[in-house]
Chains A and B, each alone.
Chain A
Amino acid sequence: MVNAENPSLQTGSPVIATGVSQRFGSNTVLKTIDLNVAPGEVVALLGPSGCGKTTLLRLLAGLSRPTTGSIHIGDQLVADAGGGTFVPPERRSIGMVFQDYALWPHMTVAQNVGFPLEMQNVGSAERDTRIAEALGMVGLAHVADRQPGTLSGGQQQRVALARAIVSRPRLVLFDEPLSNLDRELRESLVVDIASLLRKLGMTAVYVTHDHGEAFAIADRVAILHSGNILQIDAPEQLVGNPSSPIVVDFLKLGLVLPADVQGGDLMIGGGARRLSPPAGLVNGSRSGQLFLPRSALLPSNGGNRVAAGHAISGTVVHSMFRGDGYAVQMRFDNDISLEMFSTTRLGDGTIHDLDISWDRAFWFPHEDVQTDHTHNA
């Protein structure tokens, strides 16, 4: 256990959740979650609304008890459904930033920030120093004596951040801290939070439903989907090597086309289109989903490649100017759409062929969609 009195650079503890599940009545919100967070690592929990992100975070915080499984923070066993161990939040030495700030309106900014220190019986002189230091880190030293209600949303969230880190907790938890702020503020605050966490070497779990935010802040991103962690990887790895169509779909990485295999060819949309992948991509499975990342779709250089099964054609829905080019919304077979990039404006309603570079294509066979995939690279 790391001593909170000693602000060494490496203050974060490892976090290990093993077989954690959460059931509310008959509703299983989290199914067997395993999560290992290294000391000083920032992990983002990314997923659609209602997938259980907040539920998992509250289990780590000790704001609720797991139905099964155990959680360690550092060497401390903080929750164990089997053995009945449960350490309440106030004895976990953690920090937390809430979506709605949750700054206490009857205390000044400094009193809010100093509260965790007060709970640790830190003397008032040292407390003042550390409050000033924490407020300085978030750039708000000048508002120490204000009431939180008089600050802007972004400032309030910075105060909440200062409160969460002031006692150098072993683990800092964030529950969509930026979703109440407008985009510009979000982008600048996410950078500030990321660099502050790195500077202090803090272990953090950061819940969000915005992948830009997750990629910006996290060492590893866990994709949570209906109570399961589908994949947990570094952002680059997640984008380059997604583990399932759901991850692809959630991160909007490219086209996912359901297909049947007939004599080595892929029949899309019940045979409306036939694609001829190189041998080995499909690997013996009878049906599945073909994933074509954006990088696997290139403007066609003509010829008979569509007929030969090495290109697909899409209809332009609309081109939007984006400053450095055009974001082109294209519709493909089965009404699947994808946003592509183009350096020129493509006319609405025009049809374009896109060559498939098969070496970048993925195949998710149907038999075991969620865990296994073959990659023909």
Chain B
Amino acid sequence: MRLTSLKSRVFGNGGMIFAAVAPVLTLLVAFPLLFVVLQAIFPDIARGIFANPFSRFVETLFDKHLISWTLNTLMLGGSVVLVSALVAVPLGILRGLFRIPFAGLWDVVFLVPFTIPPYIAALGWIMALQPRGYLEQITGLNFGGFLFSFWGVVFVMTLNVFPVVYFAVSRMVASIGGRYLEAARVSGCPPMRSFWRITLPLTTPAIAASLLLVFAMAIEEFGTPAALAARSGFLVLVTGIEQRLSDYPIDLPGASLLSVILVLIAMAAFVLQNRIVSRRDFQTVSGKPGASRPAELGAWRIPVVMFFAVIGFLGAVMPILSVILTASTRTISGGLAADNFSTDNFTEIFANSGGAMEALGTSLSLGLGAALITGILGTMTAYVVVRQRTVSSRILDFLTLMPNTIPGVVVAVGLILAWNQPWLPITPYNTIGILVLAYCCLLLPYPVRYANAALRQVSVSLEDAARVAGAGGIKVFFRILMPLIFPSILAAMLLVFAVAARELVATILLAPIGTRTVALFIWRQFEQGSVGMGMAMSVMAIAITMTIPVAVAIWARKQGRLF
């Protein structure tokens, strides 16, 4: 009896879960981020000394690079937003309002960019557009000058992130399409005017919110600007920070200050985005089920389908095609000649040349570890946050969602600073453990959000009913809650796995000497000029991150409605 009541108190009010989760989250999230701020203020904090606060502050602040990198970051983010808006807003509105031929196909095609890591897409574009690249071999046109310029970076990054806007806008427009538009038509409003008066104003928050998300993604991206523009001297804050940490002399205060600036910009974008999404009229709209009947395109069918096809080809087909071509040709200089095609690169990968198989194994285990840890932590946190609406639970909520606004490079800087403190008795630094910490910190928001949403769907009365039926707290958790929310948590864990298994920038900065991951392998192969093997590894990385979620989804469906 006493045992049961103790257990139910433990799980019932979440007190013990809180006690278990809070220190872990503090260590995982707050500890490294705190040191980014401390380092920016105290230049000698790396030696554990709080002396001379702000002594290097002014000097770093007026560093000419700082200003130009910040401006470059804003310019890049702004340009990606602009081009994404030009491409994805019309696409999304067309998709939401009209019956588009092959609509389902386009939705799948536009999901593909999410599954290609941006740095791999960038490398694919390099192979395609560089001088004597595939495009020049086929058509004689050379876009190398464009690709390695600012607008080349914008172009490649836009193709990576525009689906965010496309899906947000098309879903929103479709849900407005039904009653709101009919009410306008019946009130005497012609179709074009209804679009301007009803559809567009109601879609604006979705457009703005998704574009802010695109902005945040663009300013955090490392691989694309590093691969395309770093050589020509165009650096943004992310690539600048990486340079400060990898070029001698290593400049920790500089990297920290740059990190703080980057975080402030990212946070501003997220705060603004949050404000828009939580506005009332926006919610009213998103809550309505849309019984819309898409209109016919008529004579515009062909041009509209061409538009979808061109963007789909550029965003999904082209980079993957280029990666596959490079992976399956013996030498780059041999080009697209028939006798140059071979499986040599894959054979070498499987023969563990350059530690390829180890890199693959390391990445898969890191992904699995991060998925398990964030899955468990996320579920526990979400439980406390959803079921126990107190101040402390809100702090947990904040801690777990904050990494969402923190770029990977900043998390890496924080981990370097925090775990190199001389007073620490033990440290995971210089072990593979530091990568687990980095991925967990970065990706924790996904499981928390998914579990949060799932738990909110589970009415408290379901738990109460189980209690009344005689189940104790632990039983309720595992027999009632877990089966109901597990599919969501599994989905989040798959996402964590896929992202962690190919993370680039934090891995570059944190991986201990001699440790190779898939991302590092690809990156280094490219830097060393053995592009073919790097691309073969890319093909495998894409294949794995695409197939494992599908396989798990099929497995879950086979289990029937068990969950």
Q: Indicate if A240 sits at the interface (CB-CB under 8 A).
A: no
| Chain B residue with Cβ nearest A63 | B182
Contact residues in A for B189 (Cβ distance below 8 Å)? 90, 115, 119
Choose one: B179, B180, B187, B190; the contact of A116 (CB below 8 Å): B187
Q: Which residues 238-279 in A have Cβ within 8 Å of B in the complex?
A: none
Q: A102-B179, A149-B284 are in contact. List 19 more A-B contacts (CB 8 A).
A: A61-B186, A63-B185, A63-B186, A88-B190, A89-B186, A90-B190, A92-B186, A93-B188, A100-B288, A104-B183, A104-B202, A105-B281, A106-B281, A115-B184, A115-B187, A115-B189, A116-B187, A119-B188, A173-B186
Q: Indicate if B201 sits at the interface (CB-CB under 8 A).
A: yes
A-B contacts, 24 of them at CB < 8 A, read A62-B186, A63-B185, A89-B182, A89-B185, A90-B188, A92-B186, A95-B186, A95-B187, A96-B183, A102-B182, A104-B183, A104-B198, A104-B202, A105-B284, A106-B201, A106-B281, A115-B187, A115-B189, A116-B187, A120-B188, A147-B280, A150-B280, A163-B183, A167-B187
Cα of A369 to Cα of B153 in the assembled complex, Å: 76
| Chain B residue with Cβ nearest A113 | B187
Contact residues in B for A147 (Cβ distance below 8 Å)? 280-281
Query: Could you give, for residues 105-116 of chain A, a 1 whenever the CB lies within 8 Å of some chain B CB and a 0 otherwise?
Result: 110000000011
Query: Could you give, for residues 278-310 of chain B, a 1 whenever the CB lies within 8 Å of some chain A CB and a 0 otherwise?
Result: 001100110010000000000000000000000
Number of chain B residues close to chain A: CB under 8 A: 22
Contact residues in A for B201 (Cβ distance below 8 Å)? 106
Binding site for A on B (CB under 8 A): 179-180, 182-191, 193, 197-198, 201-202, 280-281, 284-285, 288
Contact B186 A94 (CB under 8 A): yes
Q: How far is the CB of A206 from chain B (nearest CB, A)?
A: 15
| Chain A residue with Cβ nearest B178 | A102
Q: From DSSP, what is the main secondary structure of chain B's interface residues?
A: helix
Contact residues in B for A106 (Cβ distance below 8 Å)? 201-202, 281
Q: How far is the CB of B241 from chain A (nearest CB, A)?
A: 41
| Chain A residue with Cβ nearest B198 | A104
Contact residues in B for A92 (Cβ distance below 8 Å)? 186
Contact residues in A for B182 (Cβ distance below 8 Å)? 61, 63, 89, 96, 98, 102
Cα of A98 to Cα of B189 in the assembled complex, Å: 17
Q: How far is the CB of A302 from chain B (nearest CB, A)?
A: 53
Contact B281 A149 (CB under 8 A): yes
Cα of A173 to Cα of B182 in the assembled complex, Å: 13
Contact A116 B188 (CB under 8 A): yes
Cα of A90 to Cα of B193 in the assembled complex, Å: 11
Cα of A150 to Cα of B183 in the assembled complex, Å: 19
Choose one: B186, B190, B281; the contact of A96 (CB below 8 Å): B186
Contact residues in B for A173 (Cβ distance below 8 Å)? 186
| Chain A residue with Cβ nearest B291 | A100
Contact A163 B187 (CB under 8 A): yes
Contact residues in A for B285 (Cβ distance below 8 Å)? 105
A-B pairs with lowest CB-CB distance, top 9: A119-B188, A102-B179, A105-B281, A102-B183, A105-B284, A116-B187, A89-B185, A96-B186, A149-B284
Contact residues in A for B186 (Cβ distance below 8 Å)? 61-63, 89-90, 92, 94-96, 173
Contact B284 A167 (CB under 8 A): no
Choose one: A95, A102, A163; the contact of B180 (CB below 8 Å): A102
Cα of A91 to Cα of B182 in the assembled complex, Å: 13
Cα of A202 to Cα of B387 in the assembled complex, Å: 53
Cα of A157 to Cα of B186 in the assembled complex, Å: 16
Cα of A116 to Cα of B280 in the assembled complex, Å: 24
Contact residues in B for A94 (Cβ distance below 8 Å)? 186
Instruction: Name the residue in A62, A95, A106 with the highest tally of chain B Cβ atoms < 10 Å from its Cβ.
Output: A106
Contact residues in A for B190 (Cβ distance below 8 Å)? 88, 90
Contact residues in A for B281 (Cβ distance below 8 Å)? 105-106, 147, 149
Cα of A98 to Cα of B179 in the assembled complex, Å: 8
Cα of A96 to Cα of B285 in the assembled complex, Å: 20
Instruction: Name the residue in B179, B185, B189 with the highest tally of chain A Cβ atoms < 10 Å from its Cβ.
Output: B185
Cα of A119 to Cα of B183 in the assembled complex, Å: 13
Contact residues in A for B198 (Cβ distance below 8 Å)? 104
Contact B187 A119 (CB under 8 A): yes
Q: How far is the CB of A145 from chain B (nearest CB, A)?
A: 15
Cα of A173 to Cα of B186 in the assembled complex, Å: 10
Q: A106-B202, A149-B280 are in contact. Are A167 and B188 (CB under 8 A)?
A: yes
Q: How far is the CB of A172 from chain B (nearest CB, A)?
A: 10
Cα of A24 to Cα of B400 in the assembled complex, Å: 51
Contact A105 B202 (CB under 8 A): yes
Cα of A100 to Cα of B288 in the assembled complex, Å: 9
| Chain B residue with Cβ nearest A121 | B188
Cα of A62 to Cα of B202 in the assembled complex, Å: 24
| Chain A residue with Cβ nearest B282 | A105
Contact residues in B for A116 (Cβ distance below 8 Å)? 187-188
| Chain B residue with Cβ nearest A98 | B179
Cα of A98 to Cα of B190 in the assembled complex, Å: 19
| Chain A residue with Cβ nearest B293 | A64
